[in-house]
Structure 1
């Protein structure tokens, strides 16, 4: 009996020790430092008429785009990379093919946290378009007013980034170089996009750049993303601000179908001394990519695109 009690005691002791060792074992961090969220879209529209008294012209159109956010988070390091590409066309009988969307927007921003939610940061961005734009509704027979890298805007600067959560990000760069490229020789004349002399292919500006992104969930499967930016050139006419605002309303119908409404407002004295406005509406296919949660639990990047 005593031997049996001894064996039971030893067994319980070994079991308890094993459980304690297991409890004290370090927890493996399986959260990924890199997270990738993205959306691929293809919007289609079509209209056909035959003996229709109300009138109308047969037309077919398409719009394709990608929106990716690749983020690295580890310790105090934060590195965000954004890729936005979009292009669309519409073909109307009797009018021909016209461009309806054309955008290239690439940006990268690295920050090192120095205070809660505040980062010393530096980054760069590129904004341009894929194809030529024309004065008369993108009619190739009309006067050309833009093209690939004409203009193309490159921003490089340093400052601070404030990011309390993934629904709001603000970056302030008191030292920012803005270079306007006009690589199409047909557009290289004085006054075009601020160029000083005929034949110039670029314009250098140095000033302040502020950007902000604010995301709002209006209701289930309906989200609004707001972006805004302001640039002031220290070197020449700092009062001539370059102002931009964009809004994207995403309405998810199901896993693969969604509807998007976009609005863009821009004022740039060097482009045209008028406020520019662009609006699009599309319904079509959308495929979302999400490789998992980010390291910071409070930041759920581009959560409005999750499945």
Structure 2
């Protein structure tokens, strides 16, 4: 519990620093704007941008006749992109971090979000927007997860599971806002660096094993577009299929709708869909309403929030 609070506090501290850096005097901001205007696209090597958002929700009740419970929820999100382009080479990097906590009444703190996503893609231009690529995709989480209401048995933690997919293939990138990649030569490694979970063979690893490696094909699609003024649609869709069983594909699909209110206030709607044949969910196998078995199922998460946001960008030239 202490680690969760420290982690969220750390993300809040980072955001306060970013917000402070964005509140510059007018003259300085004008000078920076003029400098940026002089940078030509053909001279740009690095394009760096990112955003950090903090969202809060709080309800306090005293002698409230209609009933209810006090509640508190906090969520921090950090996104960072660094894209390199020179001659026929490109290198795109993305980091997404998310962490959220909620507390209702006398219940203990519970996680509402816990994500670490890192992607990196190295490409060599073949013709036009087509590239030969080497792609790396990594996912895990920060802290322990529990199958609530049981808060004593850990079902996930940092690097349990952790997923690393690396592969060679071909990519299509007509702009920074549209990227399609297909890697027919890919390796997916699942990590379960928790002895109790590995002893159960959790997340598809062999019993008492910490690592599972498979060979297959990987497909990813990224798209970003401002659909109306101040409303931006973002999506990242990935699929991985083992060549031993191409009938079953692992899927991760993230969608984010960003609503800009002003320079420092924003709202967003996020959805996350996961299907992994190695992740077994408690299920009712007999139809009697009792969960008496385990099976692969689609996992879905949706969140809507409003709060502070800080964005930054920078271009580095030759």
TM-score scaled by structure 1? 0.82
Identify the residue that residue 151 of structure 2 maps to in structure 1.
140
Partners of 1:140 and 1:190 lie apart in 2 by 18
Identify the residue that residue 220 of structure 1 maps to in structure 2.
229
Q: Secondary structure at the match of 1:96?
A: coil
Q: Displacement, 1:125?
A: 2.2
Q: Displacement, 1:292?
A: 3.9
Aligned length: 265
Q: Displacement, 1:123?
A: 2.2
CA contact (8 A) 2:258 2:267 kept: yes
Gaps of 5+ in 2: 1-37, 281-295
- Superposed CA deviations along residues 124-169 of structure 1, whole A, max 9, x for unmatched, are 12100000110115x532x321110000001111111101122210
Identify the residue that residue 46 of structure 2 maps to in structure 1.
34
Q: Secondary structure at the match of 2:43?
A: coil
CA contact (8 A) 1:126 1:155 kept: yes
Identify the residue that residue 168 of structure 1 maps to in structure 2.
178
CA contact (8 A) 1:189 1:195 kept: no
1:121 equivalent among 111, 133, 140: 133
Partners of 1:105 and 1:282 lie apart in 2 by 20
Q: Secondary structure at the match of 2:203?
A: helix
Partners of 1:194 and 1:154 lie apart in 2 by 14
Larger Rg: 1
Matched, 1:181 2:191: yes
Gaps of 5+ in 1: 1-26, 296-307
Q: Secondary structure at the match of 1:285?
A: strand
**Higher deviation after alignment, 28-37 or 242-251:** 28-37
CA contact (8 A) 2:102 2:112 kept: yes
1:154 equivalent among 164, 172, 175: 164
Matched, 1:256 2:279: no
1:243 equivalent among 243, 251, 258: 251
Matched, 1:199 2:211: no
Identify the residue that residue 298 of structure 1 maps to in structure 2.
none
Q: Displacement, 1:294?
A: 8.6
1:283 equivalent among 284, 294, 306: 306
Partners of 1:133 and 1:95 lie apart in 2 by 16
Alignment of 1:69-84 (within 5 A): 69-84=81-96
CA contact (8 A) 2:45 2:316 kept: no
Q: Displacement, 1:216?
A: 2.4
Distance of aligned partners of 1:192 and 1:28 in 2 relative to their CA distance in 1, 3 Å threshold:
closer
TM-score scaled by structure 2? 0.79
Partners of 1:59 and 1:28 lie apart in 2 by 49
Partners of 2:275 and 2:179 lie apart in 1 by 22
Identify the residue that residue 115 of structure 2 maps to in structure 1.
103
CA contact (8 A) 1:35 1:294 kept: no
Aligned CA-pair RMSD: 1.9
Q: Runs in 1 of length 4+ with deviation above 2 angstroms?
A: 27-32, 292-295
Partners of 2:249 and 2:65 lie apart in 1 by 49
- Superposed CA deviations along residues 176-219 of structure 1, whole A, max 9, x for unmatched, are 110000001110135411112x2110111110000001122221
Partners of 1:55 and 1:118 lie apart in 2 by 60
Q: Displacement, 1:293?
A: 8.7
- Superposed CA deviations along residues 257-285 of structure 1, whole A, max 9, x for unmatched, are 00011001111110021110011111111
1:232 equivalent among 233, 241, 247: 241
Q: Secondary structure at the match of 2:196?
A: helix
Distance of aligned partners of 1:28 and 1:92 in 2 relative to their CA distance in 1, 3 Å threshold:
closer
